[in-house]
Structure 1
């Protein structure tokens, strides 16, 4: 059984700054477990989150790219391996009076499995670290 996991934070940063934080490899590395995206950001193009050695830890395909509002890609954690473990990450940025609201939806999380629990913990940490980074800027 799969489940959607939804995480939402309010940040003091403008949507343009939040967008840069989602797409700039050097910034992403600061909150995404030391990995950074390698992609052209074209819809249908591959995306890899690579570590400092250049090894892909997460692979997928870009599904949406609408600056500065929506970004989505499929998600396969290479340490689990099987393509049927694929989920997708959907980011939405909305302007607010005090900055931006960022919503991360992880679709296809495997509810009740070790992978699902680890993915849920990882997604929560990513959005919390992103909030911290943007609020400190």
Structure 2
């Protein structure tokens, strides 16, 4: 089953405001992850851990594509567990002061042998929480 995970939510904010939340590392800390080495530039690699300070899961990504205010595409991997990678694409469609945020996570089956913490269900729940709650609440406050 190579079906990507897709979540989408309408957010009452302009595409520019959503884009800044997705690409400004100071804003990211407020709703997403603390990614100190994030630079919105194709080819740049970034690293981060889950919140809470346990540093159990080292996440790594590489920016693959950027179209300002429209699309951010990057790899998503766990180099401590596997050399396999997945791809996360954030797409923004603006309608007046509302933006449809669509997140697609492809290749999730690459993590199927890593255990329950890397299950499709966990990622689906995580992305729904991140986009539908954290990002939405951050931008609509």
TM-score by length of 2: 0.80
Higher-strand-fraction structure: 1
Local SS of the residue matching 1:21: helix
Local SS of the residue matching 1:26: helix
Q: 1:127 to 1:58 in 2, by over 3 A?
A: same
Taking the aligned partners of 1:127 and 1:58, their CA distance within structure 2 comes to: 18
Taking the aligned partners of 1:123 and 1:59, their CA distance within structure 2 comes to: 17
Q: Does 1:21 align with 2:25?
A: no
- Measured against aligned partners, the alpha-carbon deviations of 1:62-87 in whole angstroms (never above 9, x if no partner) come to 011111110010001356x2012x21
Local SS of the residue matching 2:4: strand
5+ residue gaps in structure 2? none
RMSD between aligned residues: 2.5
5+ residue gaps in structure 1? none
1:53-72 matched pairs, under 5 angstroms = 57-72=58-73
Q: Aligned-pair distance for 1:110?
A: 2.4
Q: Which residue of 2 aligns with 1:92?
A: 91
Count of residue pairs the alignment pairs up: 132
Q: Does 1:134 align with 2:135?
A: no
Taking the aligned partners of 2:61 and 2:110, their CA distance within structure 1 comes to: 20
TM-score by length of 1: 0.82
1:68-87 matched pairs, under 5 angstroms = 68-78=69-79, 81-84=81-84, 86-87=85-86
Whether the 8 Å contact between 1:37 and 1:50 is mirrored in structure 2 is no
